[in-house]
Homo-oligomer: A and B are copies of this chain.
Amino acid sequence: LRAPRVTLKDIARASGVDISTVSRSLSGSYGINKVTRDRIAAVAAQLNYHPSRVSRGNATERSFTIGLIVSDVRNPFFADLVRGAADAASAAGYEVILCNSDVDAAKKIRHVQSLLAKRVEGLLMNSVIGLDRTEQERLTVSGPPVVLLNRPPTHSNFSTVTANNEEGGYIAGKYLIARGHQDIEHITGARDRGNFRDRVRGFTRACAATEESRTPVILYGDDSFIGGYDLMRLILARHSEITAIFAANDAMAFGALRACEEAGLQVPRDMSILGFDNVDLCAVVRPPLTIIHQPKYEMGRAAVEMILRALEKKAPYVPEHRQFGVTLVERESCSFPNADSLARKRVHVDVASM
């Protein structure tokens, strides 16, 4: 906005060739005499020429940018994902436009429209919920490749990248059962969120596979620190025999941890807590949380790589579905149930104030 921009025309004039020659030469599309190419390069450098990707984009229909909509970067889970996506993009000469939609459908719609208007070459978002039929239609028909993050591959027109949530739930259940826990509860978020549902399913399967075949208890609440906290307080007040908690995400696990602490219970001696996701915090908190880890960074990477790959082949876009394995990361928040703890808990429940 300060000094006049130097354009192809300027450097064409300055080096006495046609503007198209300069264009070809600089973008190296095809054969240019070495001497004129050098001259052009020299002039360009000396004039401090920097091509406009927007003009180029206008002519070529390519923007070299990818749209990324998450609910909130401040959520460490998404921060990891975003970083993975940004790195993959960057490595391929792309950049990402980052949007935060919270859980606001209107915001999400606005962002999708802005991103399409900016002609992003791909779109990553963690769900397509909130977009009505028309808009989904528009996305699939005239839009760029779309990858849904952390959503089960139901929307057959979009690609998906997910963790194997079902297996995660299963591993969690198995692990706790193997340590001798017989009374485990699973605290989780909204019933209609696919990834939560899958974790529930896996957990249930694990419980069903055990000899005693007890029907697992699932408690639904808010998928946040406070949600985990509240649910844990509820549990402490009601089911004094519970010895282990499987939390559907880390935030809930932290909340549960806090509730136990406040009730005077020691984790893991008096209560085992198993988390899901594995944000950095898990290792800093006391006790370090044992969790089911999902590779967030890699998932972000994979998502943009899927887009990039789709862009390569000019063949009609065919949705792809990639699922990442999850792993158990054992730290210090789970142990074997013990009788003393049960007694202690009973006392506390009597005392506990809701």
Indicate if A265 sits at the interface (CB-CB under 8 A).
Answer: no
Q: How far, in angstroms, from A261 to B284 measured CA to CA in the complex?
A: 12
A354 contacts which chain B residues (CB < 8 A)?
A: none
1/0 per residue, CB under 8 A from B, across A192-234: the answer is 0000000000000000000000000000000001000000000
Interface size class of A (residues with CB under 8 A): 35 or more
Q: From residue A284, how far is it (CB to closest CB) to chain B in Å?
A: 5
Indicate if A326 sits at the interface (CB-CB under 8 A).
Answer: no
Oligomer copy total: 2
A50 contacts which chain B residues (CB < 8 A)?
A: 113, 116-117
A53's closest neighbor in chain B, by CB?
B117
Query: A52-B119, A82-B98 known; 20 other A-B pairs, CB under 8 Å?
Result: A1-B144, A1-B317, A2-B141, A2-B143, A2-B316, A5-B142, A50-B117, A53-B117, A53-B119, A54-B57, A54-B63, A55-B58, A57-B58, A58-B58, A72-B83, A73-B73, A73-B82, A97-B98, A254-B284, A261-B286
8 CB < 8 A contacts A-B? A2-B317, A53-B114, A54-B118, A73-B86, A74-B76, A90-B100, A98-B98, A281-B284
Closest 7 CB pairs of A and B: A58-B58, A98-B98, A53-B117, A3-B142, A74-B79, A95-B97, A53-B118
